Amino acid sequence: MNGLWDKIRDVFVLSYGQKVFLLASLPLVLAVTLISLVVTVQSRELAGREIKALETQLIQAKREELKNYLSIARTAFVNTYGRAAPDDEVAKLKVTQELSSILYGNDGYFFVFDYEGNNLVAPRQTFLIDKNWTGLADANGVPITDELIRIARAGGGYHAFDWPKPSTGQTERMIVYVNGLQDWQWVVGTGIFIGDVLDTVATARAEVEARIRQTSLYIVGIAIAALIGVFLSGLVLNLRERRLADVKLKSLTQRIIDTQEEERGRVARELHDGISQMLVGVRYALELSKRQIGLGDARAPVSLNKGIDGLGGAIQEVRRISRDLRPGVLDDLGLGPALKTLTDDFSHRTGIATQFETVVFRNRLDEDSRIALYRIAQEALNNIERHAEATQVQMSLKGQHNGGLLRLHDNGKGMIWPQPNRRRDTKGGLGLRNMLERIEQLGGTIKITSAPGNGTTIEALVPLTHMLRPETKKAKQT
């Protein structure tokens, strides 16, 4: 079961490249999504207003057309109606005949209702004639006859409802315009179907939706192209950085090998030139003492003492070499005493006046920090001995609010820092580059201040993350 969970966890664990790709892609995807939503909403709102304006304009044109038709019809019967009495049946029959004969288009005609709801004229739908249609409504419940009578009594106006189209028999939206003949209590009107208007509006709306979808597809396409571009750019950068990392790794590996060989050569030279010669001298002294004792020579104790002194010197030399490789005091007593021993040996060996100051801080450095700071101090003193031509050196180790600080200052000839035209991949020994790498591995910082003739100051700061709690008993106190 644990193996399964480990596999699932490994699936969802992202690599560094995947994290970079997500960090670059997610804002882009979110931005494109928001842009697409804003464009879609704004486009729909704008198109809706435009389509509504188009529909209003077309319907208004239809209304004006109806009004003109009714005006023409009134011109045809106005003389007859104007000279007739309210109960003149002959005049009424003549007007109905005139209106029945006026047709236009495929579906245009005039209709007449009296105020009681009886249909008097309907030339294209004769089944309506001589029937009372009070209470008539369309399929949506919109009143027809009663509303037309009300509008006619009020003087005239428009009304819209669904009605069967004479030419096709299909129910469509219809707009009618009516006037009232108050003396005869008639409703005279005509209507026009606006299916073509609605079709035009629907077509316009469909075209708008198609354009919006097309625009969205364009945006999505651009986003996909951008994501592919980000992915390819990241892939190229990743390959480039990997090649550079491989080159740097090879250079570092070679430098480590060279450093190891240099260190081995140094130890071998010290063993050969120092300890080996001392041990040879001890051997000669002991052999000489052995021969003198066999001959009863009184000088035998002197030769024996020389051998003992030489053996003591060899022991001291072995201790010195061991201390240079890995000082035991660093593990046994901590960083402060180790640096104190290092500065004392440096001053004794070189004759350079060296002052060391340390304050035991409340928190304590971990092992990696102790080793790094010790090696930085060791390398700095070696550089001072070889290059600085200094007469005084000051070293301090103190705790600060942001970590542990090692500071070295000499009064030597100084140097130009940062070095001009210095490449990061320049091959070199331990030197300043190793000091920088050691502190960078700990997440700390190193500051080098120097100028020709003004000496050099090195400040290496280890962050608080490498400070142990005071109650950690096994930690070595600095």
CATH code, 50-193: 3.30.450.20
Report residue 475's pLDDT band, with 50, 70 and 90 as the boundaries.
Answer: very low
Name the helix (H) or strand (E) containing 396.
strand 392-400
**Of the given ranges (130-134, 178-182, 432-436), which has the lowest mean pLDDT?**
432-436
- Topology adopted by domain 327-468: Heat Shock Protein 90 (3.30.565)
One DSSP character per residue, 48-114 reads HHHHHHHHHHHHHHHHHHHHHHHHHHHHHHHHHHHHS-TT-HHHHHHHHHHHHH-EETTTEEEEEEE
Spatial CB neighbours of 388, under 8 Å, sequence gap ≥ 6: 410, 412, 413, 414, 455, 456
Backbone angles phi, psi at 129, to 5 degrees: -70, 145
| Closest of 187, 186, 140, 185 to residue 160, by C-alpha | 140
Residue written as tokens 């009134």?
Answer: 74
Residues 386-395, mean pLDDT to the nearest whole number? 90
CA–CA separation, 394 and 355 (whole Å): 5
Q: Highest mean pLDDT: which of 176-185, 202-211, 408-417?
A: 176-185
Per-residue pLDDT band at 128 (split at 50, 70, 90): very high
d(CA 300, CA 304) in angstroms, rounded, equals 6
Residue 367 structure tokens: 């092992």
The most confident of the ranges 18-27, 247-256, 342-351, 432-441 is: 342-351
Q: Give the pLDDT of residue 353.
A: 93
Count Cβ neighbours within 10 Å for each residue of 42-59 and write b for 16 or more, e otherwise. ebeeebeeebeeebeebb
Report CA Rg, the chain: 54
Average pLDDT of span 127-147: 94
Report the alpha-carbon distance of residue 194 to residue 181 in Å, rounded: 26
Give the amino acid at 409. Answer: H
Which range in 41-50, 57-66, 216-225, 344-353 is most confidently predicted, on average pLDDT? 344-353
Write 62-65 long-range contacts (CB < 8 A, 24+): 62/175, 62/192, 62/194, 62/197, 63/158, 63/175, 63/177, 65/192
pLDDT score at 14: 63
Q: Which helix (H) or strand (E) holds 447?
A: strand 445-450
What the block records as the tokens of 42 is 């704004």
Flag whether pLDDT at 403 surpasses 50.
Answer: yes
DSSP state letters, 192-236 = EE-HHHHHHHHHHHHHHHHHHHHHHHHHHHHHHHHHHHHHHHHHH
Asked if pLDDT for residue 472 goes beyond 50, the answer is: no
Given the structure tokens 């090692």, which residue do they identify?
A: 406
**pLDDT average, residue stretch 310-334:** 74
pLDDT higher than threshold 50 for residue 429: no
AA letter at 306: K
Q: How far is residue 134's CA from residue 136's CA, in Å, rounded to a whole number?
A: 6
- Alpha helices of 296-397 — where are they, by DSSP H? 300-325, 328-332, 335-350, 367-383
pLDDT band at residue 6 under the 50/70/90 scheme: low
Which residues on neighbouring strands pair with residue 143, listed in sequence order? 137
Q: Comparing 99-108, 155-164, 299-308, which segment has the lowest mean pLDDT?
A: 299-308
d(CA 356, CA 409): 11
DSSP letters for 242-297: HHHHHHHHHHHHHHHHHHHHHHHHHHHHHIIIIIIHHHHHHHHHHHHHHHHHHHT-
> How far is it, in rounded angstroms, from Cα 428 to Cα 432?
9
SS3 (DSSP) at 157: strand
Amino acid at site 357: E
| Percent residues over pLDDT 90 in the chain | 24
From 82-86, 261-265, 454-458, the region with the lowest mean pLDDT: 261-265
Q: Rounded distance, CA 290 to CA 302, Å?
A: 12
Per-residue model confidence as pLDDT tens digits over 68-123? 988 988 888 888 888 889 889 999 999 999 999 999 888 899 999 999 999 999 99
Backbone angles phi, psi at 406, to 5 degrees: -105, 125
Q: Give the list of residues 6+ apart from residue 78 with CB closer than 8 angstroms, or none.
A: none
Token pair for 411: 């009064």
Please tell me the predicted confidence (pLDDT) of residue 474: 45
Residue type, 132: N
What's residue 146's pLDDT?
95
Contact 391, 354 (CB under 8 A): no
The full set of domain ranges for the chain reads 50-193, 327-468
Average pLDDT over residues 353-365: 75
Give me the pLDDT at residue 181, please.
92
pLDDT for res 127: 92
Q: Is the peptide bond before 418 cis (omega within 30 degrees of 0)?
A: yes
Residue 235: CB atoms within 10 Å: 12
